Amino acid sequence: MNKLLYDIHNCCVVELPRIHNPAGNITIVQNGQHQLFGIKRVYYLYDVPGGSERGGHAHRSLYQLVIAASGSFDVILDDARNKKIVNLNRPYFGLLIVPGIWREIVNFSSGAICLVLASEKYNADDYIRDYCVFKETKNLYVDRS
Ligand code: TYD
């Protein structure tokens, strides 16, 4: 299946393993122990000023797992036909975002940390940053399928 054919229903929240400890919990994401994708890059957003919005793009082939490592935020997922909003507010839940999905991240709580595990190293050519181009690209593939 062409990755640009994915829709928002292919994005899902996964519960990550937790090791409880009265002195503080641990959550682990390890290649080979989940069926999501191989992790090649990790980055995180922090010091996000109140009212800021991040994202505002889609990826052609990148898979990502987005985790609210601290605090909370909303992720708006859009496949050019349907939208859904996912609130992330626990460090043991990850939102799988497949390729071909426009995402915006909004409503960051104070001190929120958005941790992202990604399937590929950074590649500027993998981004679609223009919403009109995104819609046209999606419609092209959906109409052909
Ligand atoms: P971008 O992905 O647009 O951020 P967001 O979606 O969170 O708003 O990236 C912002 C800038 O950082 C952009 O100039 C590209 C750069 N960047 C890298 O150089 N490497 C990376 O791994 C990431 C995620 C971004």
**pLDDT of 144 strictly over 80:** no
For atom 9 of ligand 1, the residue with the nearest CA is 55
Exposure of 5 in the CB half-sphere (CA atoms within 13 A): 7
Give the pLDDT band of residue 16 (cuts 50, 70, 90): very high
**pLDDT of 142 strictly over 90:** no
Strand order, beta sheet including 54-59:
83-88, 73-78, 102-106, 54-59, 127-128
Of the residues 9, 20, 34, 57, only one is catalytic, namely 57
Rounded mean pLDDT, 47-62 = 96
Distance 124 CA to ligand 1 centre (A): 9
For atom 23 of ligand 1, the residue with the nearest CA is 122
Predicted local confidence at residue 145, as pLDDT: 62
Q: Does the C-beta of 45 come closer than 6 Å to ligand 1?
A: yes
CA distance 13 to 66: 9
